[in-house]
Structure 1
Amino acid sequence: MPIVESVGRFPAQTGVASQPAAPDHHVAEVLDKANRRSQTYGVSVHEEPDYTSPSRGHMSSAMDENRFLFQHAAPIMETLYGQIANTHSMVLLTSAQGMVLHSLGDNDFLEKASRVALVPGTDWSEKTKGTNAIGTALSEEEAITVHGNQHYMSANQSLTCSCSPIFDPHGQVIGTLDVTGDHRSYHQHTLALVRMSAQLIENHMFAGSFPKAVRLHFHSRPEFLGTLVEGIAVFSPEGRFISANRSAQFQLGLSHHALQAHTFSSLFNLPISALFELFSGSASIPRQLGMHNGVSVWCRTEIKPAGPWSHPSLAPVEQEGGATPPSARTATPTQSRCKPHLSSLQYLDTGDAQIKSVIQKLRRIVDRDIPVMILGETGTGKDLLAQAIHNDSARARMPFVAVNCASIPETLIEAELFGYEEGAFTGARKKGAIGKIVQADGGTLFLDEIGDMPRHLQARLLRVLQERKVSPLGARKDVEVDVTVVCATHKNIREMISRGEFREDLYYRLNGLVVRLPALRERTDFEVVVKKVLKSLCEGEPHITISSDVMTLLASYHWPGNLRQLHNLLRTAVVMVDTDGVIDAEHLPDDFLEELSIANNAPLAVEASVIASAPVAIANSEEVFTDGVRLQDVTLNTMAQMLRIHRGNVSAAAKALGVSRNTIYRKKNLLPPDLLN
């Protein structure tokens, strides 16, 4: 639920600011304990702020460690800042150790904050800053306001700070959310706003976790289901307690730690099988349950079996117009057309250390609902890796839907991704169309070249990933979706963020795990890769091999197009190969040989029968044989010999050498006349 719906717009401060009431007995005790801790830590009351900037590597490492927190908190921070804009304040997100990770604020106050080192990268734990809202909220694991002279260090007494800890889905403190402002701009409702925002972050994190568990949403009043204050408890299909949000803990009257000893049966007085029966008709209709403490609550549930739940024999139900609704969609043979031997991460492990490391990381997070971002040059096999991730997951029998964000015209990508209803725009298909995201429901959505997604659509995609709902163009209601997201790009997204071309919050939502595929020229398993690609091209055909000279030639090339270029090259060679089934230089495309020659200034393809002393391996033109002859001279002599043999017929000489006629014409000018006689 949006913050603005639960609390009114935070008023801009004009005139005399509100003054905080005297702290109650509990808050006074908390502040007293914090001050005693500050003394124990050796913090000086008159200590100057530490302006030391963290190293880029240190900050980057901290952001990587807290990516899960940031990707869920960033959108809510923006909404929260919208409520406090123009109040001489700022919103801060910190790690569980008190390090500031991200901040948003009014320009005038950001300058003031920098004077007290309230900037990303600085440590605001009690050990370094004494009593302050961030450090004390972390120490006490509860929300608190520290105002003016309640700060331990005198340098911070011009501030008023309201902070709430943020708990992860497993009940551990993962960070804090803080609003800090000028002490003259204190407002009594700030802490409530921060608390609610922190709880919203927790619920968003919770919603994306435990994808295969039984999730129960409950509240004593049915109108509060689906709101910020609903309780959410998660159980295994057997009824074992897994986790619960703070509202659920409050309603059940038990802490997260105490709940670990319980089951669904002990908390709700019936076996979990009865819950399945209760919601067998419709999970969307609230039902009443009695809790162990005698309180009756209204419930909804989300039940997601641990494995693929659709039986392959069940035929998909089609809507009019041929569209299959996500609720009825099952896997079909056409949804996994990848050849069996190309389908797994194991198949892609061909001996290169970098690839092996990537695969080991991916195996650890398969089926953990962690988004994957694949980096690498164009053609390095990012699409193959995405397909392998899908095929090794529990979603393998469900759809794998790939979207190339660079290949779809900007004017159509919104409709392609999100779908549209009939009449949504001029020229739309009569009965509308289901978008790619909905097509991927239950399976994997692969967003290739995500760096090319228009910025105005990035916010919509972020909403889909956060809320697991899609709003098709022209539709009156959202469509719920369950997808695992894998994205890929060859661009530097961090640089795009700094230029304002890519949303930072979307970036941290997409890169749960970042892996980088090496370029083909960097791989140590080149020969294995070539043979595997060749084998895939020869399926059902006679076995074809590559001559050792050509393998050496291929290994020396820089492969700007990577695997895609290699695949296309070998596909052409397979068609051109002779009956002996061996790929030689004469079967390689002319433009490839020309480029190889120009790049390395070396002989092109030289048949061993023509000149035994001229190796096919790449060498610099100034390199000499043991007898002092330059390779360039050998090249010209061989070309002259071919021209003499074929009586000056350039086409015949070019074919014999495996080069284009243009190469002969270009090199012919370098030939001394006596060589042609």
Structure 2
Amino acid sequence: MTQSRAMTPAGSHVDVIGQAHARSLQVGLRASETPDFHPLQSAVLRGLIECNQSLYTHALPVMETLHAQIVDTQSMVLLTDQHGVILHSLGDSDFIEKANRVALCAGVSWAESDRGTNAIGTALVDGIPTVVHADEHFLRANRILTCSCAPIADPFGRTIGALDVSGDARGFHKHTLALVRMSAQMIENHLFANQFDDAVRIRFHARAEFVGTLFEGLAAFAPDGMLLSANRSALFQLGGLLASLQRQPFAALFGIPFAALLQHVAHAPSECVTLTLPSGVKVVARGEFAGARPGTVLAAPARSAASLASTPAVRDADTITLASLDTGDAQMSAVLRRVEKVRGRDIPILVLGKTGTGKEWLARAIHEDSPRRAAPFVAVNCASLPDTLIEAELFGYEDGAFTGAKKRGAAGKIVQADGGTLFLDEIGDMPLAQQVRLMRVLQERVVVPLGGTRAIPVDLRVICATHRNLRAMIAAGTFREDLYYRINSLVVTLPALYERTDLAALVERILDRQRRMDKMEATPLHISAAVFERFERCRWPGNLRQLANVLRTAGIMAEGEAQIELEHLPDDFLHDCAAHECGATQGAAHEGAARDDVMRERDSLEADGANKLSTAAHGEDQNAAANLNAKPPRMQDWQATLIDTTLARHGGNVSAAARELGLARNTVYRHLRRRESR
């Protein structure tokens, strides 16, 4: 892995800035140039985020932590791709307006060739953490900023993005870069763990208290002991470059045979071991097998270390994972981040959401990204089973337990899920009697089949889902309170499809998946603009399930065509859309009420202007009085004035202003961009 170059104390920063300014001049930039206010279109930005999905997913929680550390400092945290295009930002509301003036927002490139000397662009060019403060920026417009940036490398040392903190130049703090560097290292370690979650990994450091911290060395090995990669700390401690270290056997790197490490981890997974580096330095190390996550050690007492280490993770393109579910919607990303934090730990999860929002998809992804993925995933829809059968289906039964029972009995779904994950969909529809039995299984981890006496031990993870209000059911006496608190250690709520912002990405993903699964190469992979526009207007009462069904039918009807057109859509879907649009027109009175609100706000503004005019007539700023007395000639101007007034009332908080006005935030942002460009 490429190691960051350390800057020498004497004159190095001046050299970095001087060389960056020279490059800025070479590409033809002028210091007087104004910022470019043309960010990428939202669809293009979503595509770019999808291309950088792993970076985006692992960086967001770190960005939130970093922002919490610098909150109220008139600054913002920014994530960029390898070319310097901003993918995401978190900022203080009192700094956003200033950032917008210099186009410091998502979808804008801050590459050195576009913005001249700046922390993001210069750090990416030089490959080192960089501070660019105030007048050190090449463009004069950017000299209101102070910026600290660190490049982010993938597990093989290739730069894939950058993490930056930019703020008001008057708020410069010398420790900001240290926070940014540590946060970038944290992202790199998360990426490393995710990349090699099926490898044999060791965590090590010369000081035992640093094992399991940000400063530990991380090294990943294939089942045969070949070094796959190592993080910056590991390379520094081993004293070599990745390419040269990969050619050396494990024993040459750590002083013991690889088989000895595997045996130690298999028999004492929680205990550290002392290893010897090529330099002779002793380090404390902890090993872990496939599927473990930072902070956890996976023990497999029933299997040998060698067999466990050599078990491959078979995943094809259709495997549902947490990463594959993250298609750019902020609400969904937040859900996945929460679930990610308990990955590898058998914490019960309760998934809430309307019918068809993808609760089973999420459950399958949780299972697939857990150490249990090689074991069964068993799904039970409690609403689809009659009360008389659900007990036998869940708990199994012995021969002759009831009329019609199979000879030799049958294993229930709980026993079938042993070692893996049991997904109980629509748990709110489970009868009370079965709730009692399920509660006993979760407490004692044993199952007694119907008609039997022998208790069967089970080891499983339970994920439940429902569209019902379980708290209301508890109050009504139809759901057990003790079971509720047993299954909801972590509760997440999936957004309805019409609330999501990633419809285009979902359509492409579903079409691609259906094409592969059905092996129908003639099925189109895209929809026309007219179809997408119709999709955007639909309320999707069936959510993702309805979308998938509509696309499957349309794909079959459009087989051999270049794309799906309106005529390929199912008739019932078109009728549903037409009915919704008809119902929507009945709400036109709301628009009239909104216009009345605008007029009342205008009258209030006029009255306020008249008062100020009266004051001005007594000798205070006659020009301002004349301006206030001049009425905007167009409704657009009144609307602009109303937005400005509402923003001022909320201290520039775009979200609060948009909520009050009933507008999308993007509409308010467009207004701000138009205002700044005048």
TM-score norm. by structure 2 comes to 0.51
Distance 1:29 1:367, change over 3 A: farther
**Alignment of 1:148 onto 2:134:** yes
Distance 1:26 1:259, change over 3 A: farther
Q: Distance in 1 between the 2:238 and 2:107 partners?
A: 38
SS in 1 for 2:155: coil
Which of 97, 100, 122 is equivalent to 1:136?
A: 122
**Alignment of 1:182 onto 2:168:** yes
Q: Distance in 2 between the 1:170 and 1:27 partners?
A: 27
Which of 492, 497, 504 is equivalent to 1:491?
A: 497
Q: Distance in 1 between the 2:362 and 2:441 partners?
A: 36
SS in 1 for 2:497: coil
Which of 175, 182, 191 is equivalent to 1:196?
A: 182
**Alignment of 1:363 onto 2:316:** yes
Matches within 5 A, 1:637-652: none
> Cα deviations across residues 109-151 of structure 1 (Å, max 9, x unaligned)?
1110100010110000111011111011111111111111111
Matches within 5 A, 1:486-525: 491-492=497-498, 494-495=500-501, 514-515=509-510
Which structure 2 segments of 5+ residues have no match?
1-7, 293-297, 304-313, 333-353, 379-420, 447-457, 472-483, 521-540, 550-570, 577-678
Q: Distance in 1 between the 2:84 and 2:469 partners?
A: 35
1:104 maps to what in 2?
90
1:78 maps to what in 2?
64
Which structure 1 segments of 5+ residues have no match?
1-21, 307-325, 332-360, 417-426, 436-440, 455-471, 480-486, 498-507, 526-558, 568-594, 601-677
> Cα deviations across residues 363-412 of structure 1 (Å, max 9, x unaligned)?
2475998544799x977999699979989x994544443546765499x9
Q: Distance in 2 between the 1:450 and 1:175 partners?
A: 39
1:240 maps to what in 2?
226
1:223 maps to what in 2?
209
Amino acid at match of 2:169: H
SS in 1 for 2:195: coil
Distance 1:263 1:150, change over 3 A: farther
Amino acid at match of 2:232: R
The 8 Å contact of residues 116 and 156 in structure 1, kept in 2 or not, is answered as yes
> Cα deviations across residues 146-197 of structure 1 (Å, max 9, x unaligned)?
1111111111111110011111222211111111111111111100011111
SS in 1 for 2:24: helix
Amino acid at match of 2:144: S
Q: Distance in 2 between the 1:199 and 1:397 partners?
A: 33
Matches within 5 A, 1:373-384: none
The 8 Å contact of residues 422 and 460 in structure 2, kept in 1 or not, is answered as no
1:207 maps to what in 2?
193
2:110 maps to what in 1?
124
Which of 224, 235, 238 is equivalent to 1:249?
A: 235
SS in 1 for 2:90: strand
Distance 1:561 1:29, change over 3 A: closer
How big is the shift at 1:514? 4.7
Which of 17, 26, 44 is equivalent to 1:40?
A: 26
How big is the shift at 1:248? 1.0
Which of 42, 56, 78 is equivalent to 1:56?
A: 42
**Alignment of 1:283 onto 2:236:** no
Amino acid at match of 1:103: S
Deviates more, 1:366-375 or 1:125-134: 366-375
Q: Distance in 2 between the 1:107 and 1:225 partners?
A: 38
Matches within 5 A, 1:347-358: none
The 8 Å contact of residues 236 and 242 in structure 1, kept in 2 or not, is answered as yes
How big is the shift at 1:225? 0.8
1:615 maps to what in 2?
none
SS in 2 for 1:363: coil
CA RMSD of superposed structures (Å): 5.4
**Alignment of 1:303 onto 2:255:** no
Deviates more, 1:135-144 or 1:270-279: 270-279
Distance 1:178 1:387, change over 3 A: closer
Distance 1:166 1:492, change over 3 A: farther
Q: Distance in 1 between the 2:459 and 2:159 partners?
A: 31
1:542 maps to what in 2?
none
TM-score norm. by structure 1 comes to 0.51
Which of 4, 10, 13 is equivalent to 1:27?
A: 13
Q: Distance in 2 between the 1:382 and 1:430 partners?
A: 23
> Cα deviations across residues 581-631 of structure 1 (Å, max 9, x unaligned)?
xxxxxxxxxxxxxx99xx99xxxxxxxxxxxxxxxxxxxxxxxxxxxxxxx
The 8 Å contact of residues 239 and 263 in structure 1, kept in 2 or not, is answered as yes
How big is the shift at 1:305? 8.9
Matches within 5 A, 1:429-440: 432=443
Q: Distance in 1 between the 2:124 and 2:543 partners?
A: 51
2:580 maps to what in 1?
none
2:74 maps to what in 1?
88
**Alignment of 1:161 onto 2:147:** yes
Q: Distance in 1 between the 2:20 and 2:190 partners?
A: 31
Distance 1:24 1:119, change over 3 A: farther
The 8 Å contact of residues 67 and 76 in structure 2, kept in 1 or not, is answered as yes
How big is the shift at 1:72? 0.9
SS in 1 for 2:125: helix
How big is the shift at 1:52? 1.2
Distance 1:171 1:365, change over 3 A: farther
Amino acid at match of 1:87: T
SS in 1 for 2:20: helix
Q: Distance in 2 between the 1:447 and 1:429 partners?
A: 16
Q: Percent identity?
A: 39
Aligned length: 409
How big is the shift at 1:87? 0.8
How big is the shift at 1:562? 12
Amino acid at match of 1:147: H
How big is the shift at 1:266? 2.8
The 8 Å contact of residues 399 and 443 in structure 1, kept in 2 or not, is answered as no
The 8 Å contact of residues 428 and 466 in structure 2, kept in 1 or not, is answered as no
The 8 Å contact of residues 451 and 489 in structure 1, kept in 2 or not, is answered as no
Q: Distance in 1 between the 2:179 and 2:267 partners?
A: 39
Q: Distance in 2 between the 1:518 and 1:367 partners?
A: 10
Larger Rg: 1
Q: Distance in 2 between the 1:54 and 1:300 partners?
A: 45
How big is the shift at 1:516? 5.2
1:335 maps to what in 2?
none
